[in-house]
């Protein structure tokens, strides 16, 4: 992911930050504001907007050198926040305005979202200070785990009949549009360009897990075949994607194959969870805006996979609470602790499969997945030869590579 400071500086010179302040002021009957500090993330920059009456808003602007579907991704994020604010008690920022760069009335020259600044600070991990952890810290970690469980159980109560991205029309009605995701369809540039070239059938929305898996497999295939930076290892990359796609039937949880589908949060890191000094969760940030199968939600949140130590990212402690906590949402697809237990048994395998399917992690997760599914080590030469011998189009595209096996 590009993070060169000059790219950000070049981008900032193209946007009119004074107009951003004017747009915010218009939302508050002309109360003036000025720019405060900013934070540069992977796909967005977020500015503080400080009003003269000391109210502070946040302005979220996608970075065009990392997010190559800025309007689509931002529109879905804004719609998701508005939906959750209206239909849930999950603490998300209120959206005051969304404006696409393509809108002729947008004077900022960039897509932006104006939203509430939530109270709180980044979730601490509560590092162990000794072999025997402090009982107060253990209680705080349990408190956070219960709240995270509640968030996930509540998300599972907000059900849809399609996989895709949450959208909102001008009348304020919500619907599911094509599947768009900051890290799997909007980045990197070549992948985003490939996504745009797909037929509508492969963009969604999708009515089943298998159709979603097949569409993502097609995006992977076409991206690998046309990637200008992967010419040397193109055949291996394509073969890896083909092997990964074969796992779909073994990964799909049949009971949920045709729904319901739910709002996901695939980036629940400590940076995206705000808490107060008593460890009450005050904010959940950076929803990708995607609506996915229930099993995709029933995995370990990303903070448990972030290679950080502490009482908060303790998987076993979280799992114990997640499986036993009583659900307060009668319509939740995860209301049953039995269903949660069954899904969590395959959580790591499913999560690895989706990491490979939706991101650039295929070569990393493939050996582990292969062994977990086939109960034998992954032998790349053997599997590549099988792919080459069973796909005519592969032989035609890579004749010299096939002959060299």
Angle at 326 between CA 254 and CA 354, to 5 degrees: 35
Instruction: Enumerate the domain spans of the chain.
Output: 5-117, 122-160+259-335, 164-256+351-403
Residue 109 has which token pair? 């020259």
* CB burial of residue 363 (10 Å; 0-12, 13-18, 19+): middle
pLDDT number for residue 307:
73
Strands 164-168 and 174-177: antiparallel
CA-nearest of 295, 305, 268 to 350 is 295
- The per-residue pLDDT for range 139-198, each reduced to its tens digit, is 999 999 999 999 999 999 999 999 999 999 999 999 999 999 999 999 999 999 999 999
State residue 308's pLDDT score.
79
Domain 122-160+259-335 falls in which CATH fold? Transferase(Phosphotransferase); domain 1 (1.10.510)
Q: Nearest 5 degrees, angle CA 100-CA 159-CA 163?
A: 60
Residue length of the chain: 405
What is residue 305's predicted lDDT score, i.e. its pLDDT? 81
Q: Look up residue 380 and give its two tokens.
A: 């790349």
* String of DSSP letters for 204-253: S-BSSHHHHHHHHHHHHHHHHHH-TT-STTHHHHHHHHHHHHHTHHHHS-
Q: What is the DSSP letter of 396?
A: H
d(CA 149, CA 377): 35
Angle between the 189-197 and 209-226 helix axes, to the nearest 10 degrees?
120
> CA separation (Å) from 145 to 68, 136, 304, 306, 320?
35, 14, 11, 16, 9
Note the pLDDT of residue 228: 85
User: Which pLDDT score is estimated for 404?
Assistant: 53
Residues of the chain where predicted confidence (pLDDT) is lower than 70: 1-4, 306, 401-405
Question: How confident is the model at residue 100, as a pLDDT?
Answer: 98
Partners of 57 in the beta sheet?
Answer: 49, 116
The CA distance from 72 to 179, in Å, is: 10
- Which DSSP letter does residue 162 get? S
CA–CA separation, 176 and 182 (whole Å):
16
Tokens describing residue 342: 């069954």
pLDDT reported for residue 361: 84
Answer whether 235's CB lies under 8 Å from 395's CB. no
Confidence (pLDDT) at 309? 84
Query: Domain 5-117 is classified in which CATH homologous superfamily?
Result: Phosphorylase Kinase; domain 1 (3.30.200.20)
Token match 């032998």: residue?
379
Distance CA 238, CA 394 (A): 9
The tokens 């599997």 sit on which residue?
383
**What is residue 401's predicted lDDT score, i.e. its pLDDT?**
64
């Amino acid at each position: 992911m590009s993070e060169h400071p000059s790219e950000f500086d070049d981008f900032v010179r193209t946007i009119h930050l004074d107009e951003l302040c004017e747009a915010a002021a218009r939302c508050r009957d002309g109360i003036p504001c000025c720019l405060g500090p900013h934070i540069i993330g992977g796909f967005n920059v977020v500015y503080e907007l400080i009003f003269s009456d000391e109210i502070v808003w946040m302005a979220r602007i996608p970075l065009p050198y990392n997010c190559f579907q800025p309007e689509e991704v931002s529109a879905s994020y804004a719609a998701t926040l508005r939906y959750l604010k209206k239909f849930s008690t999950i603490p998300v920022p209120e959206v005051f305005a969304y404006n696409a760069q393509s809108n002729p009335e947008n004077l900022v020259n960039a897509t932006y979202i104006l939203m509430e600044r939530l109270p709180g600070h980044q979730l601490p991990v509560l590092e162990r200070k000794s072999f025997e952890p402090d009982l107060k810290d253990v209680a705080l970690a349990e408190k956070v785990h219960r709240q995270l469980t509640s968030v996930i159980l509540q998300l599972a109560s907000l059900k849809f009949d399609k996989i895709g991205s949450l959208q909102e029309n001008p009348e304020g009605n919500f619907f599911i549009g094509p599947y768009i995701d900051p890290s799997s369809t909007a980045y990197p540039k070549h992948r985003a360009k490939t996504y745009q070239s797909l037929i509508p059938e492969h963009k969604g929305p999708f009515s089943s897990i298998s159709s979603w898996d097949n569409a993502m497999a097609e995006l992977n295939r076409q991206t690998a075949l046309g990637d200008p930076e992967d010419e040397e290892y193109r055949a291996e990359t394509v073969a890896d994607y083909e092997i990964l796609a074969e796992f779909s039937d073994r990964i799909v949880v049949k009971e949920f194959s045709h729904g319901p589908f739910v709002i996901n949060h695939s980036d629940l890191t400590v940076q995206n969870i705000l808490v107060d000094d008593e460890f009450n969760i005050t904010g959940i940030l950076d929803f990708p805006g995607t609506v996915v199968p229930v099993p995709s939600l029933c995995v370990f949140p990303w903070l448990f996979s972030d290679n950080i130590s502490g009482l908060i990212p303790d998987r076993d402690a979280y799992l114990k609470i997640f499986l036993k906590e009583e659900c307060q949402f009668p319509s939740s697809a995860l209301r049953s602790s039995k269903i949660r237990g069954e899904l969590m048994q395959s959580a790591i395998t499913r999560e690895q499969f989706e990491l490979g399917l939706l991101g650039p992690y295929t070569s990393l997760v493939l050996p582990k997945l292969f062994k977990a599914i086939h109960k034998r080590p992954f032998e790349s030469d053997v599997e590549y030869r099988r792919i080459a011998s069973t796909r005519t189009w592969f032989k035609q595209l890579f004749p010299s590579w096939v002959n060299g096996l």
